[in-house]
Amino acid sequence: MKILQINKYHYVRGGSDSVYFNTSKLLKEYGHEVIHFAMEFKENETSQQSEYFAVNEDFTEKSAIKKATSLPAFFYNHDAEIKLKALIIKERPDIAHLHIFYGSLTSSILKVLKNQKIPIVVSVHDYKFVCPAYLFLNGENKICEKCAGQNYYQAIQNKCIKGSYLFSTIFSLEAYFRDAFYPLNKMFSKLIFVSNFAANKHIQYKPELNEISTHLYNFDPTIDNQIPNHNKGKYFLYAGRLSKEKGLTTLINAFTQLPNLKLKVVGSGAELPSLMKIAGNNVEFLGFKKNHELRKIISDSSYIVVPSEWYENNPMSIIESYSQGKPVIASKIGGIPEIIEDKRTGYLFTPGDISALVDVIRRADQIKESEYREMSKYASDYAKRNFHPQVHYNQLISIYRQAIANQTTFI
């Protein structure tokens, strides 16, 4: 099978990009041919299809003048349309698997794929299809579902995107444009949700998506190469993006009440300066880490903490932690409770509740070594059962085959 993988970035900038690359590698390992389509960025990995990549029209990162001139491409990217059509004519893929594309490659690529009769499968990494701000967070970083029922104007009133009326207006208009001219249930063969929570939330507001929705957890491509460390480490660990919705202020404040316990923070992001100001001497910021260095830091920890305060889907940080036998302390929100068995693979707490987090960290730290090893072994076994590459591949190929079998023409 020849599979076209599509993503805004052809380099790892976040979790969705990792899934894009991991999926491509997995498919190749099972003998499939994979081709790529993305946008031009200087950070891009090497690709044989790079000559077909669309010109970078990243609206959010441009100056005011360039924003005005590039605004039409935020709704409909003609360069992406032309380049993708040329790539498809040359390669003739059997199916297209999309990741992040709205606001960059745009709905223009859907028209091309439908006209060329290419089935479209989409991995849904966020809530863009039902929330202009992607995260169900308003301008005050609070959970918000006021746009339910296609009331996207609420995002303008609440300045949900970058705290700006301008950005919020543009993103809201794009959502209305998409729903009017490219309805999801008519465009896509299958929507792959990485958590049941995300699937149910989308179907709640767009019931017509029920027939094309399916569920498939992310996977850890290195799981067979890991030797789980079942011994309790000397520190707690956060590893991920340093942004407001991740609940890091709650985490740092919790550790100010736990001066005898150590927290290491791995990652980069806009919140770093403010977090460093409130952190005590027991908190160490390690910066961005990846690959072997990151895995070693995870392996040497006792628990990974995921204090998110938004509707997380299926965090890779939890999956990667389990693979190395590390239990997880996490917020009871979004898709997280689906993959944490309380007191077996980790602990859950109420998001944003500093006192609850302090209590659960103390409790986790005080369990006996024998209890910790039992929890650690259960976590690594859980990962093999649920997040193994072969498990993921078998389900993904089944989804592809269903999409190809159910191929419909462009409406």
Answer whether residue 159 is part of any domain. no
Domain residues for the domain of 285 are 223-386
Q: Identify the burial level of 224 via C-beta atoms within 10 angstroms of its C-beta, where 0-12 means exposed, 13-18 middle and 19 or more buried.
A: exposed
pLDDT digits 0-9 by tens, 232-284:
999 999 999 899 999 999 999 999 999 999 999 999 999 999 999 999 999 99
The vertex-370 CA angle with 316 and 315, nearest 5°, equals 10
- pLDDT, position 307: 98
Sheet holding 346-349, edge to edge: 283-287, 263-266, 236-239, 303-306, 328-331, 346-349
- pLDDT, position 61: 56
Answer whether residue 215 is part of any domain. yes
- pLDDT, position 70: 58
pLDDT digits 0-9 by tens, 104-113:
899 899 999 9
Within 10 angstroms of residue 179's Cβ, the number of other Cβ atoms is: 15
- pLDDT, position 115: 93
Q: Identify the burial level of 81 via C-beta atoms within 10 angstroms of its C-beta, where 0-12 means exposed, 13-18 middle and 19 or more buried.
A: buried
Verify that 338 and 360 share a domain, yes or no.
yes
- pLDDT, position 75: 83
Answer whether residue 371 is part of any domain. yes
Answer whether residue 142 is part of any domain. no
Answer whether residue 160 is part of any domain. no
94 Cβ neighbours under 8 A, 6+ residues apart: 1, 2, 3, 118, 119, 400, 404
Verify that 296 and 204 share a domain, yes or no.
no
Answer whether residue 188 is part of any domain. yes
Verify that 343 and 393 share a domain, yes or no.
no
Within 10 angstroms of residue 73's Cβ, the number of other Cβ atoms is: 21
Q: Which helix (H) or strand (E) holds 272?
A: helix 272-278
Answer whether residue 141 is part of any domain. no
Verify that 193 and 307 share a domain, yes or no.
no
Verify that 277 and 345 share a domain, yes or no.
yes
| pLDDT for 38 beyond 60 | yes
Q: What is the pTM of this model?
A: 0.89
Verify that 186 and 263 share a domain, yes or no.
no
- The C-alpha atoms of residue 52 and residue 37 are separated, in whole angstroms, by 7
DSSP-derived secondary structure for 322-387: HHTT--EEEES-TTGGGG--BTTTEEEE-TT-HHHHHHHHHHHHTS-HHHHHHHHHHHHHHHHHHS
Instruction: Give me the CATH number covering residue 64.
Output: 3.40.50.2000
Number of folded domains that form the chain: 2
- The C-alpha atoms of residue 157 and residue 171 are separated, in whole angstroms, by 12
- pLDDT, position 411: 39
Answer whether residue 376 is part of any domain. yes
Query: pLDDT exceeding 90 applies to what percent of the chain?
Result: 84
| pLDDT for 202 beyond 70 | yes
Higher pLDDT, 221 or 291: 221
Burial pattern 334-370, b for ≥16 Cβ within 10 A else e, equals: bbbbbbbbeeebbbbbebbbbebbbebbeebeeeeee
- pLDDT, position 226: 87
Verify that 272 and 194 share a domain, yes or no.
no
Q: Identify the burial level of 333 via C-beta atoms within 10 angstroms of its C-beta, where 0-12 means exposed, 13-18 middle and 19 or more buried.
A: buried
Task: State both tokens at 329.
Answer: 């302390």
- pLDDT, position 113: 96
Verify that 395 and 379 share a domain, yes or no.
no
- The C-alpha atoms of residue 130 and residue 198 are separated, in whole angstroms, by 11
Q: Give the Å distances, CA to CA, from 324 to 52, 300, 348, 383.
A: 39, 9, 19, 9
pLDDT digits 0-9 by tens, 358-410:
999 999 999 999 999 999 999 999 999 999 999 999 999 999 999 999 875 43
Verify that 271 and 250 share a domain, yes or no.
yes
Verify that 106 and 53 share a domain, yes or no.
yes
Is the Cβ–Cβ distance between 209 and 202 less than 8 Å?
A: yes
Verify that 232 and 362 share a domain, yes or no.
yes
Please choose, from the candidates 188, 312, 187, 171, the residue with its C-alpha nearest in 3D space to the C-alpha of residue 246. Answer: 312
Verify that 200 and 295 share a domain, yes or no.
no
